[in-house]
Amino acid sequence: MTFKQCLYLTLCTFLSVQCETEKLPLETSENIRLNQIGYYPSSVKEFILADHKASTFRVMDTLGELVFKGKLQDRGTWDTSGEQVMSGDFSDLKTPGTYIIEIDSIGASHPFSIEKGVYEEALSASIKSYYFQRASMPIEETYGGIYKRAAGHPDSACAYHASSRHKKGQLNSPGGWYDAGDYGKYIVNAAVSTGQMLHLLEQYPDAIPDASLNIPESGNGQSDLWDELLYELNWIRTMQDRDGGVYHKLTAKNFSGFIMPENYDLERFVIGKGTAATLNYAAVMAQAGRLYTSADPVWSAEAIISAEKAWKWALRNKNVPFSNPEDVSTGQYDDTVFSDDFYWAAAELYIATGEKKYLKYLDSHPEPYQHQLTNSWKFFVRNNAFHSLLENRDKLPEKTASSMVSNHLKLADSLLVKIDKNPYHVALDRYEWGSNSDVLNQAMILCVAHRLSGDEKYIAGAERINDYIFGKNATGYCFLTGFGSKRVMFPHHRPSGADGIEDPVPGFVIGGPNHDRQDQHDVEYSSEHPAKAYKDVEPSFASNEVCINWNAPAVFVLSYLEQNRKE
C-alpha cells in the first residue's frame, strides 16, 4: 500500500467517525469534481460543484481542522454536460498536506494532495505504460510486477499483404508497442506519439533519469524515456522498404478477441504503403537522429539517411493514400491530405541537416497555425512541426522565427479565452474520439507558450486543463488508470481484460467522452450530453480504449509541469 493510499484510508476512517459523532453531511459527493491526484503549492486550485446550489465551501485536513474557507461562484449552465455549474477557488491554500472539500447539505469531495512533485507517480506510470505495451518480448516480474506476462507476436516472418505494393516474401519486424487496446502496430500513430515525447527530451534531456522507471534498460547510463522510445523507433525502422517508402501497419486482417498476447493465433501481415506513413517516418527519424547524435552517432546517421530516403520517395509519390483493403478491418489511420505531413518532415529534416532545400520547402508551403481537434495522428503532425521549429528558432530567419512565436502565443491566448469562458475551465468545445488527447494537446500548446514567454498565465492554463484529466470533468472519473478515487476499472485493453487481475494495467490515459458513441449498439450510455458520453465498460472502444497517442501528450505535460513547478 502506498503512502497516499494510507492517507486516503485514514481520511475515510476519520470521516466515518465524524459522521457518527457529529452527524455532519460528510459522505462523498459525486457532484464535487476536482483533481483527485492533487496540486502543486503554487498551482491554481479549482473545483466544480455540479447541479447543486451553495454559497460557501470549506477545505479540511486529515485531522478535521478547517484550513480554508471560500465562496462559490455561479458559472451558469454548461450545455455540453447539461449541468448547472458552480466553481470554487482555493489557490491561496499552499500548505502541503492531504485534504477534502466540504459543502453543507451535499457532502465531501474525494481526497486530494497539495505537495511538491505531486505528479511524479502519475508521470512515471504514464511512461511505464509503454513498457507494458511492448510486443515481441515478455514482461518480466522484475519490471512488471503482477502484470508480468509471456511474450507475444515475435513478428519475425510477417507476410506482405497484396496492398503492400505486391511485395513478395516476408518481413522481419519485431518489437515496438501495441498501438492501443488491440495488438496492431501502426506507423502514423507511432510517429506522432514518439515525436511528442522526443520534443520533451529535446527540452529537458534529463527529465526522466536513468533507472527511474525500472525497465530492462535501466542502468545503461541514458534516460529511461529515451530507452523506451528507442524500442519503438527500432521497430519503426524495420517498416521502411528498400526504395524508401514505408509500410502503413503490421496487423492481422481482423481484431483478435480479448486474449493475452501469447495466445494470439491470427496471421500477421505487413499492410499498405503510402505517403502519410512515409512522411511521418521521415519526420520522426530525422528528429530522433539529431537528438541521439552524441549517444550513438552511427544509429543517428543511419536514421537521418533513412529519413532523407523516405522524403525522396514521398516526393515521387505525393498522393498515395491508405484505406483498408476489403479483407482488412483493423485500425485504418487513413489520411488524404498530406500537406501537413510534408511540412513536419521538411521541418525535422531541415533542423537535422541544415540543408536549405528543406527551409525553402517550408517557406513555399506554409501551414495554418492552428490546432485541429480529434485524430491527433492526422492533425497534430502540423503542431509537432511548429514545436520543433520554435525550439530551434535560432536556425530560422529572424522574421520567420518572430512570426512563428507570435502565432503560437496567439493560439495559446485563444485557448486561455476559452478556459475563462467555460464553466469547467477547459478549452475543449467538441468531444470526439480520443477527446482526452485533445485536452492534453491543448495543455501541451500552453506549455510551449510558457517556455517561449515565461508568462505564468500559460502554465496556469495548462494546469487548469490538466485537472480535467484527473477528475475535474463532467463524469467525475480520473482518466488515468490506477489513479484517483473514482477510477477507470474496465478499459478497452486486451491484456487488462484477459490477465485475470482485478485492476487494469496502470498508467493509461483512456479516450474519454465521445459524442459520436460509435459503439452504442453494444454499450448503453447513461447520457447523450457530449461531455458525459462515456462508459467505464470493456466493450466501449469509442470512449474507454487506451492508445499510445493519448498517453504521449500526458507524458509531455506532466513532465513539463514537474520541471517547472519544483518549488
**Looking at domain 120-478+545-564, which CATH architecture does it have?**
Alpha/alpha barrel (1.50)
What pLDDT was estimated at residue 567? 66
- pLDDT of 67 above 50: yes
Specify which residues 89 forms β-bridges with.
Answer: 46
Helix, strand and coil content of the chain, in percent to the nearest 5, comes to: 45, 15, 45
What pLDDT was estimated at residue 167? 82
What pLDDT was estimated at residue 414? 98
Separation between Cα atoms, residue 248 and residue 377, nearest integer Å: 13
Mean pLDDT over 351-368 rounds to: 98
Looking at the chain, the whole-number percentage of residues with pLDDT higher than 70 is 95
Mean pLDDT over 59-67 rounds to: 96
> What's 139's DSSP letter?
B
**CATH for 3-114?**
2.60.40.10
- pLDDT of 541 above 70: yes
Stretch (H or E) spanning 495:
helix 494-498
Separation between Cα atoms, residue 457 and residue 413, nearest integer Å: 9
Q: Which residues are catalytic?
A: 182, 492, 536, 545
> What's 267's DSSP letter?
P
Mean pLDDT over 427-450 rounds to: 97
Query: DSSP letters along 209-243, please?
Result: -TTSS--TTTTSSS-HHHHHHHHHHHHHHHTB-TT
Q: Where are the domains of the chain?
A: 3-114, 120-478+545-564
- pLDDT of 151 above 80: yes
- Side chain identity, residue 94: K
Rg from Cα positions in the chain: 24
Per-residue confidence band for 152, with pLDDT thresholds at 50, 70 and 90: very high
How would you classify the pairing of strands 46-50 and 32-33?
Answer: antiparallel
The three grid cell numbers given for residue 25, joined into one nine-digit string: 453531511
What pLDDT was estimated at residue 26? 76
- pLDDT of 14 above 50: no
Cβ burial of 439 (10 Å; 0-12, 13-18, 19+) is: buried
Looking at the chain, the whole-number percentage of residues with pLDDT higher than 90 is 94
Separation between Cα atoms, residue 436 and residue 406, nearest integer Å: 27
What pLDDT was estimated at residue 162? 93
For residue range 457-485, list pLDDT tens digits in order: 999 999 999 999 999 999 999 999 999 99
For residue range 310-330, list pLDDT tens digits in order: 999 999 999 999 999 999 999
Tell me how far CA of residue 174 lies from CA of 45, 250, 297, 330, 405, in angstroms.
45, 10, 23, 19, 40
- pLDDT of 12 above 70: no
What pLDDT was estimated at residue 7? 46
The three grid cell numbers given for residue 218, joined into one nine-digit string: 535501466
What pLDDT was estimated at residue 16? 43
Separation between Cα atoms, residue 202 and residue 391, nearest integer Å: 8
The length of the chain, given as a count of residues: 567
- pLDDT of 22 above 60: no
* Closest of 123, 146, 142 to residue 209, by C-alpha: 123
Tracing cell 522481419 back to the chain, one arrives at: 172
For residue range 107-127, list pLDDT tens digits in order: 999 999 999 999 999 999 999
CA angle 522, 524, 530 (to 5 degrees): 110
- pLDDT of 441 above 80: yes
Per-residue confidence band for 566, with pLDDT thresholds at 50, 70 and 90: confident
Separation between Cα atoms, residue 556 and residue 104, nearest integer Å: 38
- pLDDT of 412 above 80: yes
What pLDDT was estimated at residue 17? 41
For residue range 374-405, list pLDDT tens digits in order: 899 999 999 999 999 999 999 999 999 999 99
Average pLDDT of the chain to the nearest whole number: 95
What pLDDT was estimated at residue 176? 98
Separation between Cα atoms, residue 377 and residue 180, nearest integer Å: 13
Q: Are 30 and 476 in contact (CB under 8 A)?
A: yes
**Three-state SS sequence of 4-61:** HHHHHHHHHHHHHHHHHHHCCCCCECCCEECCCCEECCCCCCEEEEECCCCCEEEEEE
Tracing cell 496471421 back to the chain, one arrives at: 267
Mean pLDDT over 215-244 rounds to: 98
* CB hemisphere CA count around 267 (13 angstroms): 11
What pLDDT was estimated at residue 378? 94
Tell me how far CA of residue 140 lies from CA of 143, 148, 502, in angstroms.
6, 5, 19
CA angle 130, 250, 514 (to 5 degrees): 60
Q: Are 188 and 335 in contact (CB under 8 A)?
A: yes
What pLDDT was estimated at residue 165? 79
